[in-house]
Structure 1
Amino acid sequence: MNALAGTGQLLKLGLRRSRIMLAAWVYALVAYAASTAYGFKSLYDSAESLRNFTSGINGNGATVAMYGRILVPDSIGGITAWRLAALGGVMVGVMSVLLVVRHTRGDEEAGRLELVGAGVVGRRAPLTAGLLVGVVANLALALVTAVALIACGLPAAGSVAVGLAWTIPGLFFTAVAGVTAQLAETAQAARGIALAVVGVAFLLRAVGDAARVSWLVWISPIGWSQRVRAFGGERWWLIALGVVVAVAAVAVAYALVERRDLGAGLLPVRPGPAEAAPSLRSPLALAWRLQRGALLAWLAGFAVYGAAIGAILKGIGDLVKDSSGTRDLLAKLGGQRGLEDSYIGTVMGILGLIAAVYAVIAVLRLRTEETAQRLEPLLATRVRRVRWSAGHLLFAAAGPAVLLGVAGAAAGVAHGLRTHDLGTQVPRMFEAAIVQTPAAWVTAAIALLIFGVVPRFTPAAWGVLAVFLLLGQMGPVLKLSQAVMDVSPFTHVPKLPGADLTVTPLAALTAVAVAVAAAGLVGFRRRDIG
């Protein structure tokens, strides 16, 4: 049999199954690109303000570590490409990893690949189809991003370069996910290893840019994306080089798939004990065992990000002192009592959205356990549905609070050390972060409602989160009406420390989250499993 037999049918199936997830990712990333371009055009309407902004950015080490250096400082397109490259490259990498692992190791772990393999399907067809899903997603993203930036009035060549620059990390991490799907025996482990590679690539780029060690930047695909120099003498050869490296990594994945059995990974798996530990006798203990790895990884990320926020905070005034538009935007996004307070409110709102991502992931673990057929054996015992769900929902509820608390404390310590005022800054930052928790709970509750009532549309929870993200980031720039902005629960959170702490909106958000979650649990109790 041809080793690629059935690839076309598997590709169609994969695109159909991921149509909601893929559309949500492309929509969110394109909106991020378009809103960035539109915002910069609105804020920097003179060459002098643009020069002042770029010199301030390149002179601040923490900002350079987070976003990279501005390589094309004399145009709106140049700073747009700078703003999109680093964090956008990470998000594109995450998208690619999730898509590929879902259609390779995920299908294999769930037993679907074994059923499909009983037909006319070649040995390499599932891997090829999974990789092609990632390729299609990246090419669609590049095309729509280029069109969106051209529609914003940016030059066509640079806009195309920005879209294609995203394919460098996108295709590379597509191939990396294909490799990790052969190495690990579970989808969770494959995702974890591939996402760790994404994190290392970002860290190498960050250290290289901040310390001016160019070779560190050049060994990171995210660094390559920055070095394309869109809108400033585009380096098209870097995009071709990215494709070559991705193809080489794909060749490694093909070599590995021939050396393992179906359902097995190449990395040795340590056998578990013959009997479970006494502590593993409740649904909550099982949920902790399944969720702890992800929670600890997220905690580390929030601590680092919080510390970076605190480190940059003292110099924020220098970055935007020559742009009244930026000061006005920060005031609209994050309060009215000074530029520093406005910036804190803005970044803590972004952290709240990121914490909501974790909450949604924790809720969707319920669907993963159900579709992997691990739920039915548990329900055959004395465990009931609500009790089983409560173990995972505890992480969706407590997880965002812990993450935001750690980030706020880290930011407070970093800023307090720089200002020699730990006693004031730590509680101030902690309060500004933790207040975002009820909005994250509402997002998690909506995900639970979808899971409980219409489980086949569970990926739509990501679409809901994308809408909240776009309203929060684009609403003030596009001057949307308050009625539209109020759709997002994050709009109702007090923008601390620049505003007064009012309990009413927090209590209302909590009540909404409880009511929606209860409706989701009722729906889950009444529907069929599977």
Structure 2
Amino acid sequence: MTAVTAARPVRAARPRHLAGTGTLLRLALRRDRLMIPAWVLALGLTVAAMGASFEAVYDTAAQRAGLAASMNHNGSMRALYGPVFSDSVGGLVAWRMAGFGAVLAAVMSLLIVVRHTREEEETGRQELLSAAMVGRRAPLTAALLTALIANSLLAALIAGGTALSGRPAAGSLALGLAIGGTGTLFAGLAAIAAQLTESARLAKGLTGAVLGLAFALRAAGDAATADATSPLTWLSPIGWSENLRPYAGERWWILLLFLAATALAGSAAYALTARRDLGMSFLPARPGPALAPRSLSGPFGLAWRLQRTTLLGWTTGFLCAGAVFGGIAEGASDLVGGNQQTREIVERMGGQQGLTDAFLATMAGLLGMVASLYAAGAVLRLRGEETGERAEPVLAGAVGRLRWAGSHLVIAYGGTAVILASGGLALGLAHGLSADDLGGQLGPVLAAALSQVPAVWTLTGLAVLVFGLFPKATPAVWALVGGCLAIGWLGPSLKFPPWAMNLSPYSHLPKLPGADATAAPFVWLLALSALFALLGLVGVRRRDIG
């Protein structure tokens, strides 16, 4: 019996590529138990509540029809928000949130996927897990499932919330699937980026660049056509989201585009992960010089080396955005015509100093709000260095905690001013050239962009405060920044109550260019930023590292 058994060929056990997926999924959901609910509730409830805001501001069908006609008439506004396919309350909600919500869902998804793939490998935790009974594809599968669960909850909340608010069920479902589908697709794209790059920072930057390109294609396509039929719009997943047309004769077949693109991205990510070693990438870093330059002899040089690529990317993006919006500013005056409701929207968003100046003020404010994302990321790099156990070797030398933290904060605060200056410079140059008044427009527009610095620094100080006193709650910084973005971008047009508007530091700034400005709000915001940063640094000095 023994001889017979020994003579039988022994089949090699098939590798269980998905072994441990369930355990890793539960771990991921536990780690994201604060971040995912914050994202889902903030975005989902905002969309669900927007219908009531539109009903309060535009309480007649004639007013809503006038708003839709005015928005569709002007390419500048279509570039920002997209075309209006229906002047119903639901149609206006979809116009306002299909693109904006899709972008935020994409950001949520890329953060989730990169966190549970490339970041785990970068810190060495994935190697420890893979030494146990964990399949090769289990980490990627768990990350994608986590993102899928988050986007499914978001889609369900949007669909259910808008339907319960009195909107048609079909349109509500289409809006939820459009936003959730975009987020799921970018989860797949983030999974590809996690295989290509060697660090979580580069993976996020690459996926963010793709997202920025998708937004730019959608904006260019919608500026060219009033019905979203431009080929540029169809090249963008964000364009697919608006072309699903919730509440305006839903095109359900567009969901097949999301399904096919997501499946293709996921398949590519699985194929890549099967062809590389753990911790490696397809785009490895170039080997450095044998001897480190003198600039790396101190903490500031190291911080600059770690963050310079991110700063360069943000600066380039702001230059491009400023040039685009500056070039279309002159067209904002054609938006209003005789429509009083549209005039009130523009004036609430950018001030009452003239429509062109109001548009420029709105764009300067948008640059300021987006700059807070860079500032938060630059501050939270400290937490990444800490949890990745890279801070301890630095602090083991002749470097104090305050010097170590301060080196990154100099880049966070100074980098904010640099990217806002670049955006303001491009905005002023493009507008000045199109208006044949470069000398008269460049200075005021640049000053308007730089006037956003105190508000951004306030949120930067708040991020330092959370990092110093509540390090485990640092993911909540993104929710705080996102809340301020929602208040600043949606609040003026939807008439948020004063107490809600005052929660955002941007609401306390004058509407520049054109408005009268005093030093008081700038001084108060700078003082508040300094107070937050001081308290955070006290926490860094006193608490345990790690």
Q: Per the shorter chain, which TM-score range?
A: over 0.9
Aligned CA distance change for structure 1 residues 211 and 474 (closer, same or farther; 3 Å): closer
Structure 1 residue runs of 5 or longer lacking an equivalent are: none
Q: 2:25 is matched with which residue?
A: 11
Q: 2:242 is matched with which residue?
A: 226
Q: Is the 8 A contact 2:117 2:143 kept in 1?
A: yes
Q: Is the 8 A contact 2:402 2:537 kept in 1?
A: yes
Q: 2:314 is matched with which residue?
A: 298
The 2-side partners of 1:167 and 1:182 are apart by 23
4+ long deviations beyond 6 Å? none
Q: 2:95 is matched with which residue?
A: 82
Aligned CA distance change for structure 1 residues 165 and 420 (closer, same or farther; 3 Å): same
- For residues 180-259 of structure 1, the aligned pairs below 5 Å read 180-211=193-224, 214-259=230-275
Q: Is the 8 A contact 1:96 1:170 kept in 2?
A: yes
Q: Is the 8 A contact 2:74 2:332 kept in 1?
A: no
Which is worse superposed, 299-308 or 31-40?
Answer: 31-40
- For residues 88-487 of structure 1, the aligned pairs below 5 Å read 88-211=101-224, 214-473=230-489, 475-476=491-492, 482-487=498-503
Equivalent residue letter for 2:322: G
Q: Is the 8 A contact 2:73 2:335 kept in 1?
A: no
The one of 36, 40, 43 equivalent to 1:22 is 36
The 1-side partners of 2:215 and 2:389 are apart by 36
Q: Is the 8 A contact 2:417 2:450 kept in 1?
A: yes
Q: 1:64 is matched with which residue?
A: 78
| Cα deviation code 1:472-498 (max 9, x no counterpart) | 345556655544543322222222234
TM-score (norm 1): 0.93
Residue 541 of structure 2 aligns to a residue in which SS? helix
Superposition deviation, residue 393 in structure 1: 0.5
Aligned CA distance change for structure 1 residues 307 and 73 (closer, same or farther; 3 Å): farther
| Cα deviation code 1:106-128 (max 9, x no counterpart) | 11111111122232211111110
| Cα deviation code 1:443-488 (max 9, x no counterpart) | 1111111111121111111222233334434555665554454332
Larger Rg: 2
Q: Is the 8 A contact 1:409 1:430 kept in 2?
A: yes
- For residues 31-70 of structure 1, the aligned pairs below 5 Å read 31-34=45-48, 36-70=50-84
The 1-side partners of 2:45 and 2:513 are apart by 28
The 2-side partners of 1:141 and 1:319 are apart by 34
| Cα deviation code 1:60-118 (max 9, x no counterpart) | 33333343333x24433233323323333222222211110110111111111112223
TM-score (norm 2): 0.90
Q: Is the 8 A contact 2:45 2:157 kept in 1?
A: no
| Backbone CA RMSD of aligned residues | 2.4
Equivalent residue letter for 1:254: Y
Superposition deviation, residue 305 in structure 1: 2.2
Residue 295 of structure 2 aligns to a residue in which SS? coil
Residue 272 of structure 1 aligns to a residue in which SS? coil
Superposition deviation, residue 191 in structure 1: 1.8
The 1-side partners of 2:47 and 2:416 are apart by 27
The 2-side partners of 1:246 and 1:412 are apart by 39
Superposition deviation, residue 43 in structure 1: 4.1
Aligned CA distance change for structure 1 residues 472 and 419 (closer, same or farther; 3 Å): same
Structure 2 residue runs of 5 or longer lacking an equivalent are: 1-14
The 2-side partners of 1:478 and 1:156 are apart by 23
Which is worse superposed, 337-346 or 285-294?
Answer: 337-346
Which is worse superposed, 207-216 or 293-302?
Answer: 207-216
Q: Size of the alignment, in residue pairs?
A: 529
Equivalent residue letter for 1:15: L
The 2-side partners of 1:332 and 1:429 are apart by 19
Aligned CA distance change for structure 1 residues 259 and 481 (closer, same or farther; 3 Å): closer
The 1-side partners of 2:230 and 2:515 are apart by 42
The one of 527, 530, 538 equivalent to 1:511 is 527
